[in-house]
A and B are shown apart, each in its own frame.
Chain A
Amino acid sequence: MVKKKRSFSEPEFATLAEPVATEEAMPESSLRANLEEIKTSDGVIGYILRNSSSAAIDLKDPTKIIDYAILSSSALDSSVELSELFDLGDVKNIVVEGKDAKVLSLMVGENKISVFLEKGADCEKILRKLH
């Protein structure tokens, strides 16, 4: 696989590079600010923001950090596989609703975000703020 990439001609690299640049529309700092604002909204329990170099976790109940982190990671991993199985295209978001609470997970560029909400909270509102 690596060898094949090396064999790409220069123009091909140029065309590939462009969309990657546009995906970085929302920098991490801006995302974090958004998440801080979201956290003050009604029904929001907390959030996890992580990328390859850092992670930020803010939850009302710190004892559940590990449980929430594992769940959000599983949800995002599963979403990639599910998308492949049903040919659903790029992952936009995944919402897992439980009996007590729900989690909204999405990827913005390299950043993986999970927002934890109370059962009745509005996911759409949160999504609009993050895009």
Chain B
Amino acid sequence: MDNEVYTFAVKNTLNEIRNICPEITGTFMFREDGEIIAGDNTTSEKIMVRVVDSLDSIFEKSDAIGEVDCITFEGGKGRLKIFRVNDAYLVTASSEKADMKYVDTVTHVLVPTILKLLEKICSTPLQNSSQKEIEPKFDMDEEMNKPSEELIKETAMKKLEEDAEPEMESEIKPEASLPELPVNQLIVENLGGLLVPSDTVRIDNEILTQWANLYEDSKIEEVEIGTFDGKTTRCKVKPIKDSKYEGKGIIQMPEKVQLALEIKKGELVRASPIIGGGG
């Protein structure tokens, strides 16, 4: 599971790099042992394998100059750069028109940052597939919390009284108060435009539906977003409109929210629904 998230994040990063620098004609990453981590959408696996094979002969014979840090190839129509990032290598092919300083800045900053971030995330338990993990917890929690069921009921009742929602009073399922809030890790994408409210983020409709299904009667209207540096904020949430961002684990975020969390496009955040806000 960790590997899937890692690969997914790297792939997205590489695609974003290509978006930022259209002169990059292909990019991918592989580990020291030759295992391919991920590539952008346009670079085929066949090409990646052949490149790694070709570079292998250089790596094998590099004892005379020490472990390879970087390889730069210059051709008549473009360049290829392979540089080391921790225990992996990033391959970037670019056309002759590319501003290499810009390409280098983007790749040398973005990729190591994402990898560092991923290392941090992967060292902590991932809760990305929240639904699958939480469902079995219902039973476990029920059993473990049996003695404190009354206490939970009491707190749930207090909350409900505070919220003063008579409709919800009728059916208080102890199960509903027991599950932990699902947490999804999402990649930040900019959200801009004239009519975009600055306090609303957009998340995949699929995720919102999953959350809503977990808490039958609740409508998810707000989310709590947390960074890996510990900063959190509450925002209104709506489903993603742009189909190109659907199903990619993306959270579209206005600049104001990004500033509040001190994060930027491409970084990872944790998002969890706020239940019972209701409006």
Contact of A86 with B68 at beta-carbon distance under 8 Å, contacts A74-B61, A81-B50, A91-B75 already known:
no
B65 touches A90 (CB 8 A): no
Hey, which chain B residues are within 8 Å of A116, CB to CB?
A: 65
The yes or no answer to B72 lying at the interface (CB within 8 A) is: yes
Other-chain contact of B65, A82, A92, A96 (Cβ < 8 Å): A96
Contact of A94 with B76 at beta-carbon distance under 8 Å, contacts A85-B47, A88-B93 already known:
no
The yes or no answer to A89 lying at the interface (CB within 8 A) is: yes
A95 touches B71 (CB 8 A): yes
B interface size (C-beta, 8 A): 32
- The contact string, 1 if C-beta is below 8 Å from chain B, for chain A 33-71, is 000000000000000000000000000000010011011
Hey, which chain B residues are within 8 Å of A92, CB to CB?
A: 74-76
Hey, which chain B residues are within 8 Å of A74, CB to CB?
A: 57-58, 60-61
In the complex, residue of chain A having the shortest beta-carbon distance to the beta carbon of B79: A88
Provide the bound-state CA to CA distance between A46 and B128, in Å: 54
The yes or no answer to B67 lying at the interface (CB within 8 A) is: yes
Tell me the residues in window 62-112 of chain B with beta carbons closer than 8 Å to chain A beta carbons: 62-80, 93, 96
A85 touches B50 (CB 8 A): yes
The yes or no answer to A83 lying at the interface (CB within 8 A) is: yes
The yes or no answer to A113 lying at the interface (CB within 8 A) is: no
Provide the bound-state CA to CA distance between A74 and B76, in Å: 20
Other-chain contact of A99, B66, B72, B80 (Cβ < 8 Å): B66
- The contact string, 1 if C-beta is below 8 Å from chain A, for chain B 31-68, is 00000000000000001001100110110111111111
A contact set with B: CB distance below 8 Å = 64, 67-68, 70-71, 74-75, 77-79, 81-83, 85-103, 116
Given contacts A75-B58, A77-B57, 9 further A-B contacts (CB under 8 A): A71-B58, A71-B62, A74-B57, A74-B60, A85-B47, A88-B80, A95-B70, A97-B65, A99-B66
Q: List 29 A-B contacts (CB under 8 A).
A: A67-B63, A71-B61, A75-B58, A82-B55, A82-B73, A83-B73, A85-B47, A85-B54, A86-B80, A86-B93, A87-B25, A87-B77, A88-B76, A89-B75, A89-B96, A91-B73, A91-B75, A92-B74, A92-B75, A94-B73, A94-B74, A96-B62, A96-B65, A96-B71, A98-B62, A99-B66, A99-B69, A100-B66, A101-B66
